[in-house]
């Protein structure tokens, strides 16, 4: 294996096996979304101005809050009192084009700026104009709202627009985005990600979907429409994905009865409000598996164990707002397979934690994509809900590769057979058992925080929207569940770096349903229970997202999204 790949895989695979902390929320990405502009895009910034002290920048964000900065927009604080602002003189509203407002640069003679759908500048008192930004230029986006000029640096200009706040140090020729640090995350709603996995974000302001690229950023996908919801969340109504006649609905209002359940497609309704604190409910989601209902809004985030199969009295609500920012929660998404709960806040971004109703439930998931897909001989399994000390599958010891107080990673022995495996687990609560379906092969591509673990074979770098695959590239796909190997390899032992064993099953791969050449498939050298599948892309590709899938002995893996360029 190439040294660069070994280094990257050590970090990536360790991150895949690290369980999330159940007691806290963690932010996903920054305050902005990478959207092909001069920096991350944020929510709309309606106004920007300098205070009369000449060094304090004041911006009004989409929530209406005023934020201030004294270091050029690198850090921000809420406004705590009255601020006297420098007022700019308008030159007119129609001298350049319809619905445009012209401002005279207060510190540069003869320089004018026109704000409207585009941003224009004139250096000769309006005789000639140059477009700096607009619909046809991917710098700061369109619909300019406000402009401010730095009293201490006449070449430094700030513009507030539909996509956030931007700074130029050369009068507008080049730009730098300030939205990564500005708590003004764009208004978003959750949608199911690829194949119902980790969520995508739909932002009407950005005109499409955004996906999380690891924990570092959200990136806009080059799509105008996205996948349909998997039924596990909706802004104010939830419909069971397994029983379409079951609904949980928020009826509006800020007090009294606001939350109702129907088990018969709306013919009758039960009041679930119980002791839910006052406040408008803006988001509802539930688990058809456990019956837990989650709500969020002005009051924070709450959940209650409800029966979603038969009539039952309403139960008390438990607050799980925890350390979420104080801003209002706008939407929820429950990823039921992994037991992760996501919250979209107003301005502060997206956060995630372990759903409390599954934290203590013992269950086994496929470790590659945290799904209920079967495992395979030699496969990796994530056991949630217990501190596992040791494990047996039949009479064979199953190595515990990593463990915390709530989660463990276990390898299924290569010798296992049958249509299921029963794991006898020694835990802090005593001997427990959990069963999981077994197949001779059950391929799955590893996913970490929504990002498939697919690397460039040439550089060892993880592919994402900023590092797309290109025509003719060879890719390394990290997978699990390819079954027994030749020569046979002992369970729990890292695969050799040189000449690693190869799966017995024939492995194939497709991109958007079209066959790819499989260069090789083998255990991943230095790792336990993981496989590398190396594939070669065709030389001619259409730019954009593409679905990659591997197959072993006729069994297909999860389809993952990668980004490709010709």
How far, in Å, CA of 125 to CA of 128, rounded? 8
Instruction: Return the pLDDT at 175.
Output: 93
Between the alpha carbon of residue 454 and those of residues 8, 203, 229, 236, 413, the distances in Å are 11, 27, 25, 36, 26
Say yes or no to pLDDT of 474 above 50.
yes
Q: What percent helix, strand, coil does the chain show, rounded to 5?
A: 5, 45, 55
Say yes or no to pLDDT of 16 above 50.
no
Average pLDDT over residues 66-71: 95
What single DSSP character describes residue 347? B
Instruction: Return the pLDDT at 95.
Output: 67
Q: Residues spanned by CATH 2.60.40.10 within the chain?
A: 3-16+443-565, 360-437
Instruction: Return the pLDDT at 59.
Output: 97
Instruction: Return the pLDDT at 405.
Output: 86
pLDDT in tens, 221-275: 754 443 333 344 445 899 998 899 999 999 888 999 999 999 999 999 999 999 9
Q: Is 275 exposed, middle or buried (0-12, 13-18, 19+ CB in 10 A)?
A: exposed
Between the alpha carbon of residue 50 and those of residues 75, 163, 177, 265, 271, the distances in Å are 15, 20, 18, 56, 51
Class (C level, CATH) for 360-437: mainly beta
CATH 2.60.40.10 fits 3-16+443-565, yes or no: yes
């Amino acid at each position: 294996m190439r040294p660069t790949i070994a280094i990257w895989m050590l970090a990536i695979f360790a991150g895949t096996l690290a369980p999330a902390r159940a007691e806290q929320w963690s932010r996903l990405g920054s305050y902005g979304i990478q959207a092909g502009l001069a920096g991350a895009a944020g929510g709309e910034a309606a106004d920007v101005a300098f205070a009369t002290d000449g060094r304090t920048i004041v911006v009004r964000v989409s929530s209406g809050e005023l934020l201030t900065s004294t270091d050029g927009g690198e850090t921000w604080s809420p406004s705590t009192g009255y601020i006297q602002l420098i007022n700019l003189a308008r030159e007119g509203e129609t001298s350049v084009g319809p619905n445009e407002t012209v401002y005279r640069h207060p510190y540069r003679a003869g320089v004018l700026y026109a704000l409207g759908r585009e941003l224009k500048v004139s250096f000769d008192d309006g005789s000639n104009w140059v477009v700096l930004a607009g619909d046809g230029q991917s710098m700061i986006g369109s619909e300019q709202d406000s402009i401010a000029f730095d009293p201490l640096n006449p070449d430094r200009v700030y513009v507030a627009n539909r996509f956030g706040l931007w700074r130029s140090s050369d009068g507008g020729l080049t730009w730098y985005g300030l939205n990564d640090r500005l708590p003004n995350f764009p208004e978003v709603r959750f949608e199911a990600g690829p194949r119902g996995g980790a969520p995508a974000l739909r932002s009407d302001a950005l005109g499409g979907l955004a996906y999380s690229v690891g924990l570092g950023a959200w990136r806009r996908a080059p799509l105008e429409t996205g996948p349909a919801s998997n039924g596990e969340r909706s802004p104010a109504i939830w419909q069971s994905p397994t029983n379409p006649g079951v609904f949980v609905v928020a009826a509006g209002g800020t007090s009294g009865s606001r939350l109702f359940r129907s088990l018969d497609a709306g013919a009758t309704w039960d009041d679930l409000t119980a002791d839910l604190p006052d406040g408008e409910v803006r988001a509802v989601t539930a688990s058809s598996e456990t019956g837990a209902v989650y709500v969020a809004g002005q009051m924070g985030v709450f959940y209650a164990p409800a029966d979603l199969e038969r009539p039952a009295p309403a139960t008390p609500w438990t607050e799980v707002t925890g350390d979420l920012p104080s801003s209002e929660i706008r939407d929820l998404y429950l990823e039921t397979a992994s037991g992760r709960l996501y919250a979209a806040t107003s301005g502060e971004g997206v956060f995630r934690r372990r759903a409390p109703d599954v934290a203590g439930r013992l269950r086994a998931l496929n470790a590659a994509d945290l799904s209920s897909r079967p495992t395979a001989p030699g496969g990796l399994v994530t056991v949630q809900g217990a501190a596992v000390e040791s494990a047996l599958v039949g009479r064979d010891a199953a190595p515990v590769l990593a463990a915390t107080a709530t989660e463990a990673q276990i390898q299924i022995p290569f010798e296992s057979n049958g249509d299921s495996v029963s794991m006898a687990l020694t835990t802090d609560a005593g001997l427990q058992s959990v069963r999981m379906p077994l197949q001779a092969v059950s391929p799955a591509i590893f996913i970490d925080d929504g990002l498939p673990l697919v690397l460039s074979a040439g550089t060892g770098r993880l592919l994402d929207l900023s590092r797309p695959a290109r025509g003719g590239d060879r890719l390394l796909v990290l997978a699990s569940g390819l079954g027994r190997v030749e020569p046979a390899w002992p369970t729990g032992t890292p695969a050799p770096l040189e000449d690693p064993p190869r799966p017995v099953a024939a492995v194939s791969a497709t991109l958007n349903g079209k066959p790819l050449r499989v260069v090789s498939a083998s255990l991943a050298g230095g790792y336990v229970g993981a496989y590398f599948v190396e594939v070669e892309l065709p030389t001619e590709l259409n730019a954009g997202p593409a679905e990659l899938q591997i197959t072993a002995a006729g069994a297909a893996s999860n389809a993952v999204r990668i980004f490709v360029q010709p």
